[in-house]
Amino acid sequence: MLLHIDSSADTTADSVTRQLTETFARTHGTADRRHRDLSVEPVPPITPAYTTLGRRVEREGFVPPAKVPALIESAAEQREWDLTLPLVTELLAADTVLLGVPMYNFSIPAGLKAWIDRVTFPGALTDPDTGESLLRDTRVVVALARGGGYGPGTPRAHFDFQTPYLRAYFGNLGVPPEHLHLVAAELTRVDVMPHLAGLEDLAAGSLALARATLTALAAA
């Protein structure tokens, strides 16, 4: 199953990340695709009841999701679990996770962070018998877009908290490096930012390379 998640607040055709994820999804061609749009259908941020339930689960030794209901002690905790379990189940069912992630203020959109916080429930993504990650065979493809230039060697490379964060997050979850693909289109705001004037060819080349890379990944 392909789990396709868009996180851009721009739901129009102008969204570069939506263009890129659609390129991948169309080439991938699977009939079994789940599309989740975090702008149209936001994931609620976690609450104190979520953290309380999570700590209780941790004290039990990271129980699997099927045993979490037995540890719920309030209606608020039940609500949090009802919001969380479908997202966890959806993630675990995916062979490939496709994420569209624009750079907002040097990092990721708040809507995607809310999804990350919720699905990373204690023990939910770990095999309780072996301690191994349940995502060890999952492929994660991330289509990134940045208005300026943040690639290695650029003057603003150290402002990129988007790529390192996602690499660290999925790596910590147990997604092997060879299964994690971060594909970035740079200078996507070249048409509206005066200080980027003259970089139009670089922007077009970056976008073309991102499309070609995602097309190749989808066909693999």
- Using one digit for the tens of pLDDT, what is the confidence trace for 134-182? 999 999 999 999 988 888 888 889 999 999 999 999 999 999 999 999 9
The answer to whether 172 is a known ligand-binding residue is no
The rounded distance, in Å, linking the Cα atoms of 213 and 217 is 6
What does the pLDDT read at residue 202? Answer: 86
CATH of domain 2-219: 3.40.50.360
Q: What is the pLDDT of residues 43-92, one digit of tens each?
A: 999 999 999 999 999 999 878 999 999 999 999 999 999 999 999 999 99
Answer yes or no: are the C-beta atoms of 96 and 143 closer than 8 Å: no
The rounded distance, in Å, linking the Cα atoms of 54 and 117 is 12
What does the pLDDT read at residue 36? Answer: 97
Answer yes or no: are the C-beta atoms of 76 and 47 closer than 8 Å: yes
The answer to whether 106 is a known ligand-binding residue is yes
HSE (side-chain half, CA atoms, 13 Å) at 210: 28
The answer to whether 193 is a known ligand-binding residue is no
